[in-house]
Amino acid sequence: MEDLTRPSTHVFRLLRWGRILARHGALRGIEQDINTPPQVRRLCRIARFGAVQPREPDYAGAFAAIGPAAIKLGQALATRPDLVGEDAARNLLSLQDDLPPVSFALIRREIEASFAKPLEALYASIDETPVGSASIAQVHKAVTLEGRVVAVKVMRPGIREKLARDIDTYEWAAAHLEALGGEASRLRPRLVIANFKRWTARELDLRREAASSSELAEAMAGFEGYRLPGIDWDRTNGRVMTIDWIDGTKISDMAALDAAGIDRPALAKRLVLAFLTQAISAGFFHADMHQGNLFVDRDGTIAAIDFGIMGRIDRRARVWLAEILYGLTTGNYRRVAEIHFEAQYVPSYHSVDEFATALRAVGEPMRGKPVSELSVGQMLDGLFAITRDFDMQTQPHLLLLQKTMVMVEGLATQLDPAINMWDTSGPFVKGWIRDELGPEAAIAERLREDAQTLMRIPELVRRLEDSFPAKGGAPEAPPLPDVPLVWERRSGGRKWPGYVAAGVAGGAVLYAVLLLGWLG
């Protein structure tokens, strides 16, 4: 019976979400996008039939109305103007991860049930009015029995079950979208959703968030001017997390930073270097570095919070990333192109030289200019147009890295409109390559240019393998759920009911295309 009702449940959810998107005018852009599959474009028209659409699309309003999981995906899309367009990205930036708070009675019940203790046995006092109410959890200020001021983060009751239901439908919709082939298949929406599911699972266990904060604090211990709050492990479990209270100025409050005498250009540079230190040196980075999660102390120290979303890249990918950044910084587009081919991100039947020329067309206009003179949207649009031209598949394991890089650049530009990202990142990347790979890196570079020499000294090659691993390379893909497609459900006889169901599912076309496939 479940095999029959399960698709109808997904169709119902998608139809409801699609109608919400239509009422907010959020399907118009997908219809007009030349990369939208024809089947999807037709279904867009069906989804908005009879809906009164506003003159200007309100993507943020639509995503907020759909629910917590859509809010999370909408925030990710806000950093991707290359995919959704600059107007849509600008609109999505207003999508704040805040919802009406749940009653304190429910919060008290959640805390007491998770610890099997009365609230008074944990905290001397706790403010009933939350200081923040996001889609997954809300935060209250409290004082411990020992007199320390802390922030208490509590999961919203029932949020695990709601997200599980929505993500189940994401997987179903992604499988049908990918089955259309073409651009939808290249973007690998099923793998994107598989990664999103894992990221969300981490956010739903506050012990893992606490552990991430502790691990990152260790990794950044030697970085001056960046700190993380301490964890109160005795008052932390899967549903409740207690951390030191952060008193500071929001990093987005430019007037307050100026009034406090903070050197904003120095702060912008520190922010960029903090991210590069995490991503390239540690391979473990704060992947939710938006303005609401960063504060500035009186001495200019950056204090970060909210570590539910973390990114991790192995050493091979870090070397790959460092060489790409350094290649773009120095204008060595040939080397950047070679790295993409070595990592097998670009199929071997394409020309390395042609790919290098395409990279030059995007990279040269950026070099030596402040970010204020560049359109990040246009730059990313150019880069992703190249990936389409050269049949480069989406790499979901790098999505968090891409998303965070755009976030950091946006914040750095607000702090210092004249910052040059290349000049800021170049010395760090060059130093890391030199210190991490050592003199053998130069030897390896010469070896790559001389295949015959490489063949003559295999002993040296073996010595280099550990210190200079192969570039890039996506990690093994996670197992994907077996999703029967509606048009394959009948082995014989009339199949038209399956096609009708697929057509109805298209009522959430933007949800299936924009949120799922085009996220990559």
Residue 453, pLDDT > 90, answer no
Q: Which helix (H) or strand (E) holds 41?
A: helix 38-47
**For residue 502, what pLDDT is reported?**
46
Catalytic residue among 33, 58, 232, 288: 288
Element (H, E) at 387: helix 376-389
pLDDT one-digit tens code per residue, 458-514 = 444 444 444 444 444 555 666 777 777 766 655 444 444 444 444 444 434 433 333
| pLDDT the model gives residue 50 | 73
Is residue 139 within 8 A of residue 151, CB to CB? The reply is yes
Crossing angle for the helix pair 264-276 and 399-415, to the nearest 10 degrees: 170
For 518, residues 6+ apart whose C-beta sits below 8 A from its C-beta are 77, 83, 84, 187
- pLDDT digits over 209-242, tens only? 999 999 999 999 989 999 999 999 999 999 999 9
53 and 28 in contact (C-beta within 8 Å)? yes
pLDDT band for position 437 (50/70/90)? low
- Model pLDDT, residue 440: 47
User: What mean pLDDT comes out for the span 267-292?
Assistant: 90
- Tell me the pairing of strands 226-227 and 302-304: parallel
Contacts of 111 by beta carbon, 8 Å cutoff, 6+ apart: 119, 122, 152, 154, 239, 240
**Which residue has tokens 């990142």?**
425
Cα–Cα distance measured from residue 138 to residue 389, given in angstroms and rounded to the nearest whole number: 44
Q: Is 288 a catalytic residue?
A: yes
Rounded-to-integer distance, Cα 78 and Cα 292, Å: 15
Q: Which residues pair with 139 in a beta bridge?
A: 132, 153
Cα dihedral sign, 331-337-340-342: negative
Sign of torsion, CA 142 144 148 154? Answer: negative
pLDDT digits (tens, 9 = 90+) for 304-327: 999 988 888 877 777 777 777 677
Residue 368 — very low, low, confident or very high, per pLDDT cuts 50/70/90?
Answer: low
Give this prediction's pTM. 0.73
DSSP for 159-199 reads HHHHHHHHHHHHHHHHHHHHTT-HHHHHT-HHHHHHHHHHH
Task: Please provide the size of the chain in residues.
Answer: 520
Task: Please tell me the predicted confidence (pLDDT) of residue 256.
Answer: 95
Tokens of 99: 């919802």
pLDDT tens-digit readout, 334-345: 888 887 787 777
pLDDT at 183: 65
User: What confidence tens digit (pLDDT) does each residue in 183-214 have?
Assistant: 667 667 787 788 778 878 888 899 999 999 99
Q: How confident is the model at residue 21 (pLDDT cuts 50, 70, 90)?
A: confident
Contact predicate 70/515, CB 8 Å: yes
Number of other residues whose CB lies within 10 A of the CB of residue 389: 12
Distance CA 74, CA 26 (A): 12
